[in-house]
Structure 1
Amino acid sequence: MPLSDVVIVDTTLREGEQFIHADFSSESKLEIARALSDFGVRYLEVTSPAASRRSREDAQAIASAGLPGTVAAHVRCHPDDAAIALDTGVGALHMVMATSPILRAASHGKAISEVVRMAAEVAEFVRKRAPDVSIRFSSEDAFRCPLSDLMNVYLPLAELKLFDRFGIADTTGAATPDRVADVVGLLHRLTAMPIEFHGHNDIGCAVANAHAAVTNGATHINTSVLGLGERNGITPLEGMIAVMYAADRAGTMARFRLDALPGLCRRVAELAEVAVPFNQVLVGETAFSHKAGIHTKAVYNDPRAYEALDPADFGLTREIAIGHRLTGWNAVRVRADALGMRLALSDLKEATARVKHAADGQRLTLDDVDRILAEVAAESTRRSA
């Protein structure tokens, strides 16, 4: 599947709500849902309506908001949870159940055969009550589960023809891309079903794992804005968008309002009461910053020399730092030109030397650089007089 065609299943309104600092109000949830929809996301996952009265009301409000696409409720493999979710009007149910030995023992205590039976019974219940509702079954903690156990879950369920999609979750965020590629590839080949990948970021591999999942058969990827979620969170929406854009700029730009992404991230950060990390993919304050002299020279000549992504496509601008000891005369020349100064090469190199010397002793502002340039320009004029 081409990377630009992958379906983003954004779970900021479910996984993001589980972020330790998040406490989204009902109004905030609806605002986030609309912002995600405006950006171009067409699949939103919300907290189980069975979790609380407000969770039910929030799910119903989002499902009835008239947003394009699908609103899915994340539920346990239990008919009561499914019934409560269906009453809210959501268009999909995302059923989940633990499959790894350690998580089965610590949570529901069921054998693999019982996992299959419970998932099948709930799916049959949903099909009878709401035949048009999409159903996804996902195995929680799949990548710490023996492959034999995983296949003993998915293969019998695939034969029932009750599910629209299978999910597979790296719940502890400890999987690596090679492991994800092997497991997702095997599941895709043996079931011939659409596959949804949910990856946590505990060892920093969430985006790479999502990429490995797609290139090995996954059709859907779970994301959240800024990667908000349990512990270190999951695949960040902006990270996945960056991967898709790098693979197919035109296709990604056609699907999403990329210039809306920075504002979406800033707003969700504000609602979660956290700062956008300085080095966050695409939207961090240093994402398009350049400093070293050899970098700045090349970027002035052709930004693609040191940028895989074009900031203009995201409504952003690049920053090229000048006032530091690593600066080069090409960067100083561009600043001089911007000020209307046409300095000889010898003067530019003198100004650059003075900037470097001054920066060795203190942090310089752009005004400091401009002052040095003005001094060098004045000396050059006096020499020519």
Structure 2
Amino acid sequence: MNGTTSNGVKIANSGVQVQTQINPYTPRYADLLSRVNNFSIIESTLREGEQFANAFFDTATKIEIAKALDDFGVEYIELTSPAASEQSRQDCIAICQLGLKAKILTHIRCHMDDAKIAVETGVDGVDVVIGTSSYLREFSHGKDMAYISAKATEVINFVKSKGIEVRFSSEDSFRSDLVDLLSLYRQVDTLGVNRVGIADTVGCANPRQVYELVRTLRGVVSCDIECHFHNDTGCAIANSFAALEAGATHIDTSVLGIGERNGITPLGGLVARMYTADKDYIKSKYKLDKIRDVENLVANAVGIEVPFNNYITGYCAFTHKAGIHAKAILNNPSTYEILKPEDFGMTRYVSIGHRLTGWNAVKNRVEQLDLTLTDDQIKQITSKIKKLADIRPQSMEDVDTLLRDFHHAVISGDPSHVENVLSTPAVN
């Protein structure tokens, strides 16, 4: 008989099972609730990002960041509560008046005083939050679940009466009692909120926990589900992806992940992850070549460098060094790149001035320099590069000079000139 089992094993006529090759990055089945190719980004650099240790955004900088995020294509931009300070209120009004395509949200405590200030700024929506874990109920606001329920009803009804979006979120969701949490979400869903929110406020959750909670919540509420993940234990991006797989609809991000402590899901990191899940969807939604400009803008504003290993834009993100890697990359970039640098306005770089270099990578550079050398000659000069690199790293300028000198010696036709280049001792 012929056929294929559920795990990708092909059954031949003889009845012998033959394992077929399956791309491990390709989904093997569809999760009926998945929103991996249908989600929105709530960009919180101008709210969560203001809580970053180095952050101070004046009005002009906030406007510049908001415009850059809007140009990139995020669906929502979240701002610091206008109740935080008079300047925060003025900044909120100013950004609301820019006429951006993105919806403008502000994030407030579950308190009528905050809500009244927020709705007067012209925002498109208000994100309401209150702590629900035993830690926050005891050591932060000191209120019980009955108080939280009553206050949520009051604030939500007020915001809805103004005709703008409202999201209600628990804080410290993953350390909250599940029964309390689901009861509260069911209540606010019946009030007509646009979204309910889950917040991993201390970064303690793992992807399995996230999937289970979002999947459970999806069966309790009919509204959208927003997720906010802190990165204290390095799971923010993975948790965001798991949430979308389980049916979440909105993910909170910040540029470079800046925020309280180690921050939250980074915008670039989420985009990189989702690109591998559905490249065409991500390319159609966002101007991917703008991500570097947005990150440089925010990095300059808060006085930090973009990390060397940053998703997409780090200077090592598309740098290849090992000889076997370089050969494969030059033949077919997808051998060692799951992201296409050109889709993000980036370029790959094959490093050759080191002891791990291979002659194929050197050959590629020879061709870029429009030099004419045989494969045997390239292997000779590659050996020289490796010897020099055993003593000290060779810059691209060092390598280019050596290649040009060797090429000049070769075309001179004098073997002694060639030998002289190959035997020249390295300079310490």
Q: Tell me if TM exceeds 0.5.
A: yes
- Report the 3-state secondary structure (helix = DSSP H, G, I; strand = E; otherwise coil) of the residue aligned with 1:259: helix
Unmatched tracts of structure 1, length 5 or more: none
The answer to which of 109-118 and 20-29 deviates more is 109-118
Q: 2:48 aligns with which of 7, 10, 15?
A: 15
Question: Which of 241, 250, 255 is the aligned partner of 1:225?
Answer: 255
Tell me which residue corresponds to 1:100. Answer: 133
| Cα deviation, residue 335, structure 1 | 1.3
CA offsets 1:147-181 (integer angstroms, 9 cap, x no match)? 122113212222x3331110000000111111111
Give matches, 1:3-152, under 5 Å. Answer: 3-128=36-161, 130=162, 132-152=163-183
Aligned pairs (5 A) from 1:292-371: 292-371=322-401
- Number of equivalent positions: 382
Asked if 1:237 is matched to 2:267, the reply is yes
Task: State the Cα distance separating 1:127 from its structure 2 match.
Answer: 2.4
Alignment deviations for residues 268-309 of structure 1 (CA, whole Å, 9 cap, x no partner): 110111111111101111111110001100110111111111
Q: Aligned-pair distance for 1:383? A: 4.4
Q: Does 1:268 align with 2:301?
A: no
Q: Aligned-pair distance for 1:189? A: 1.4
2:393 match: secondary structure: coil
Structure 2: distance between partners of 1:333 and 1:127? 66
Report the AA paired with residue 25 of structure 1: D
Indicate if the aligned counterparts of 2:45 and 2:253 stay in contact, CA closer than 8 A. Answer: yes
Could you tell which deviates more after superposition, 160-169 or 7-16? 160-169
Cα distance in 2 for residues equivalent to 1:344 and 1:173: 56
Of all paired residues, the percent bearing the same amino acid is: 47
Cα distance in 2 between the residues matched to 1:279 and 1:211: 20
| Structure 2 residue 245 is matched with structure 1 residue 212 | no
In structure 2, give the amino acid aligned to 1:10: E
The residue type equivalent to 2:178 in the other structure is: L
- Output the CA distance in 2 between the equivalents of 1:322 and 1:271: 34
| Cα pair 2:96 2:121 within 8 Å, conserved | yes
> Hey, what's the Cα distance between the residues in 1 that align with 2:75 and 2:115?
22
- Deviation for aligned residue 1:384: 11
Local SS of the residue matching 2:220: helix
Question: What SS does the corresponding residue of 1:215 show, helix, strand or coil?
Answer: helix
1:172 and 2:202 matched: yes
Secondary structure class of the residue paired with 1:191: coil
* C-alpha distance in structure 2 between counterparts of 1:125 and 1:208, whole Å: 36
TM-score with structure 1 length normalisation? 0.96
Q: How far off its partner does 1:183 sit?
A: 0.8
The AA in structure 1 aligned to 2:389 is: A
How far does residue 371 in structure 1 lie from its aligned partner after superposition? Answer: 3.6
User: If you compute each CA radius of gyration, which structure gives the higher value, 1 or 2?
Assistant: 2
Secondary structure of 2:414's counterpart equals helix
Is the CA contact (8 Å cut-off) linking 1:112 and 1:152 kept in structure 2?
A: no
Q: Deviations over 1:90-141 (max 9, x none)?
A: 110100000111121111111122211110111112223x0x2111000000
* Segment of structure 1 superposing worse, 348-357 or 322-331: 348-357
Instruction: Tell me the distance in 2 between the aligned counterparts of 1:199 and 1:123.
Output: 23
Letter paired with 1:146? D
2:277 counterpart letter in structure 1: A
Please tell me whether the aligned partners of residues 39 and 261 of structure 1 are also in contact (alpha carbons under 8 angstroms): yes
State how far apart, in whole Å, the 2-side matches of 1:339 and 1:83 are: 65
For residues 282 and 5 of structure 1, the distance between their equivalents in structure 2, rounded to whole angstroms, comes to 22
Q: For 1:360, give the aligned amino acid.
A: D
**Which of 388, 393, 414 is matched with 1:382 structurally?**
414
- Residue 116 of structure 1 aligns with an amino acid whose one-letter code is S
CA distance in 2, matches of 1:274, 1:368: 30
Determine helix, strand or coil for the equivalent of 1:330: helix
| Structure 2 unaligned regions, length at least 5 | 1-33, 418-428
How far off is 1:375 after superposition? 4.8
One-letter identity of the residue aligned with 2:300? E
Q: Which moved more, 1:15-24 or 1:332-341?
A: 332-341
SS of the equivalent of 1:75 reads strand
8 Å CA contact 1:350–1:376 kept in 2: the answer is no
How far apart are residue 63 of structure 1 and its match?
1.0
- Give the whole-Å Cα distance in 2 for the aligned partners of 1:119 and 1:312: 47
Please report how far the alpha carbon of residue 258 of structure 1 lies from its aligned counterpart in structure 2 after TM superposition.
1.0
- CA-based RMSD of the aligned residues comes to 1.6
Q: Is the 8 A contact 1:4 1:245 kept in 2?
A: no
Amino acid at match of 1:149: D
- Which amino acid is 1:150 matched to? L
Q: Distance in 2 between matches of 1:258 and 1:127?
A: 35
Q: Which secondary structure state, in structure 2, belongs to the residue aligned with residue 95 of structure 1?
A: strand
**Residues 69 and 335 of structure 1, relative CA distance in 2, 3 Å threshold:** closer
Per-residue deviation, 1:5? 2.2
Q: Secondary structure at the match of 2:41?
A: strand
Q: Which has the higher contact order (CA 8 A, sep 6+)?
A: 1
Rounded to whole Å, the distance in 2 between the matches of 1:168 and 1:221 is: 10
Any idea what SS the aligned residue of 1:233 has?
A: coil
Q: Describe the superposition over 1:344-375 as per-residue Cα deviations: whole angstroms up to 9, x where unpaired.
A: 22222111111111100011122322343345
Q: Is the 8 A contact 2:153 2:191 kept in 1?
A: no
Say which SS state the counterpart of residue 104 (structure 2) adopts. Answer: strand
